[in-house]
Amino acid sequence: MGHLSAQNDSLQWHASPNPFQSDVNIQMDSLNSDTISQVVLYNIQGQVIDTLFQQLVWTGQLTFTYTGSQLNDGVYILSARVNQKAYSLKLIKNGSIGLSELSKNESSIYPNPAQNEIFVEFDPEVLKNLKLTDLRGSVIWEKDKVSSPLRIDMSYLRAGSYLLHFSGDQGLSISRITKL
């Protein structure tokens, strides 16, 4: 499973596994005494889903588990306000690594793991957009109106895990790709 982290100034925080199926572990490390004014989970539309903490002071390591079994599959943003600075992590709730009607059976990715390139085959009537992101959610490559089969050059990427997002009229599906 993935491990997502962010670092800024004296604060470092991690979420694992990410994508998660039920529970996600959050760890915040601080070199200083820090004050959390709030930690809030938002859906991708920016609506508040849950408030995890308010007004907490800590030094060192803070670890907690968020039970997301009640959440729908999708993308969420965990936002923390620490010492008047905003921090955020992108979390992916993915009970089946695929959402809605787009299924892994409608696409093929090979080779995976890959060294320099991957090929993606899919039904172009179903798929409208293809996007490659790192585990932090930063978009590396995106293409609308894609045709099959599609070759994606990965030679310039570092070794590691990436997410390939398939989207269409029927929903979203996410597949993990490994670059050797």
Hey, is 101 helix, strand or coil?
Answer: coil
Identity at 48, one-letter amino acid code: V
Residues in a beta bridge with 89: 78
Q: CATH fold of 4-93, please?
A: Immunoglobulin-like (2.60.40)
Task: Copy the structure tokens of residue 18.
Answer: 């990410």
pTM more than 0.75: no
Among 57, 64, 104, 76, which residue's Cα sits nearest to residue 18?
76
What pLDDT sits at residue 108?
82
What pLDDT sits at residue 95?
59
Cβ atoms of 93 and 8 within 8 Å: the answer is no
What pLDDT sits at residue 120?
87
Cα distance between residue 91 and residue 75, in whole Å:
6
What pLDDT sits at residue 123?
76
HSE-up (13 A, CA, CB side) for residue 77: 14
What pLDDT sits at residue 58?
78
Identity at 128, one-letter amino acid code: K
What pLDDT sits at residue 134?
85
- CATH 3.30.70.1170 is right for the domain spanning 104-179: no
- Predicted confidence pLDDT, tens digits, the chain (180 residues): 333 444 445 667 878 887 787 888 888 887 777 788 888 998 877 889 999 888 888 777 888 888 888 888 778 888 888 888 888 888 888 754 444 444 444 678 889 888 999 998 877 777 778 889 887 788 898 988 777 888 999 999 999 888 888 887 766 778 888 888
> Phi-psi category of 85—alpha, beta or left, where left has phi over 0 and alpha has psi -120 to 50?
beta
Cβ atoms of 164 and 100 within 8 Å: the answer is no
Longest dimension (CA), the chain: 55
What pLDDT sits at residue 106?
62
Identity at 177, one-letter amino acid code: I
Cβ atoms of 112 and 104 within 8 Å: the answer is no
Domains 4-93 and 104-179 share a fold: yes
Cβ atoms of 77 and 44 within 8 Å: the answer is yes
What pLDDT sits at residue 97?
44
**What is the residue extent of each domain of the chain?**
4-93, 104-179
Identity at 29, one-letter amino acid code: D
What pLDDT sits at residue 168?
76
